[in-house]
């Protein structure tokens, strides 16, 4: 049993690296996801994750499967979309979510097209679904740095972020923190999506951000409970997903996100907060 549960990680360095990368992401992305879902901005993170695809693809066109090039491309595209959506929302009075949905499909199409110009379909799979079993030192350092930056940012921005969520006018009237908080929040979302993109690919990066957050809603009622539950759910999904991928020879990115999906299904049924089983028992 121990062999089954720990063997792959003891035996293979690439499994340990994959686990480290995913756990680092599990620390930072889910809290961001909690705030995204509470602010009803989940669609926006989804759109941003797709916007990263053409950015990374341009990096790929310029210098092949190179980490710095694709990271810079992804960051630039993600930030551009975040800012652009802000402008579009303000200019057109569309809801932020609606204006972002427009970017969504165009981005995927553009990204796939760009990669296909030069790369093989294997390259395309790498970019879409990540290469968690092939994380090199540079990628691990990048993910670690993103995770650490996010945690420091959360500690600094926690109070204004909470106030901005509950009563934006109150924060706006109490100084300049409002704009800084909102913009830095968008930047941190992009950072985590780019970090997730190294491991899980552009399509699934948003999974480790949002799924744990919606899982947490079924187990905790307060913000201070949601954050640790989301981190725990992400870490569990990472570990179990990698293990599943190893033993069943499955692609690891989808295995991780599917594991989170299973936890989500279980939470819908048995979660303490509004899970079906509890409701039926009470009824």
Closest approach, Cβ 273 to another protein, in A, equals: 10
* Closer residue to another protein, CB minimum distance, 1 or 173: 173
Closest approach, Cβ 267 to another protein, in A, equals: 16
Residues that bind another protein (CB under 8 A): 38, 156-160, 162-163, 165-171, 173-175, 177, 220-223, 226
Closest approach, Cβ 174 to another protein, in A, equals: 5
The set of residues, in sequence order, having a beta carbon less than 8 Å from that of 200 and lying 6+ positions away, is 129, 130, 132, 207, 208, 253, 256, 257
Closest approach, Cβ 188 to another protein, in A, equals: 15
CB neighbours (10 Å) of residue 279? 9
Distance CA 104, CA 101 (A): 5
* Closer residue to another protein, CB minimum distance, 25 or 229: 229
* Closer residue to another protein, CB minimum distance, 190 or 220: 220
Shortest CA distance to 252 belongs to which of 92, 28, 12, 51? Answer: 12
Helices (H), 130-216: 137-166, 168-173, 177-204, 207-216
* Closer residue to another protein, CB minimum distance, 171 or 255: 171
Shortest CA distance to 57 belongs to which of 116, 121, 122? Answer: 116
């Amino acid at each position: 049993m121990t062999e089954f549960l720990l063997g792959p990680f003891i035996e293979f360095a690439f499994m340990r690296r994959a686990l480290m990368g995913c756990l680092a992401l599990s620390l930072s992305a889910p809290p961001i996801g909690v705030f995204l879902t509470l602010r009803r901005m989940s669609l926006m993170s989804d759109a941003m994750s797709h916007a990263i695809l053409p950015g990374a693809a341009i990096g790929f066109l310029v210098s092949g499967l190179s980490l710095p090039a694709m990271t810079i491309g992804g960051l630039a595209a993600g930030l551009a979309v975040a800012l652009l959506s802000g402008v579009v929302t303000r200019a057109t009075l569309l809801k932020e979510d609606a204006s972002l949905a427009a970017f969504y499909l165009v981005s995927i199409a553009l990204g796939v097209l760009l990669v296909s110009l030069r790369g093989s379909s294997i390259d395309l799979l790498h970019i879409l679904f990540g290469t968690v079993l092939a994380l090199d030192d540079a990628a691990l350092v990048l993910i670690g740095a993103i995770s650490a930056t996010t945690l420091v940012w959360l500690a600094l921005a926690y109070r204004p972020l909470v106030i901005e969520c509950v009563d934006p006018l109150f924060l706006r009237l109490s100084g300049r923190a409002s704009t800084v908080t909102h913009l830095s929040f968008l930047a941190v979302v992009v950072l985590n999506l780019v970090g997730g993109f190294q491991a899980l690919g552009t399509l699934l990066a948003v999974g480790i951000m949002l799924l744990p957050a919606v899982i947490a809603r079924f187990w905790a009622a307060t913000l201070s409970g949601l954050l640790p539950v989301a981190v725990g759910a992400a870490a569990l999904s990472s570990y179990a997903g990698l293990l599943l991928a190893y033993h069943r020879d499955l692609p690891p990115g989808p295995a991780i996100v599917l594991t989170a999906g299973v936890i989500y299904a279980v939470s819908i049924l048995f979660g303490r907060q509004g899970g079906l089983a509890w409701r039926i028992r009470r009824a």
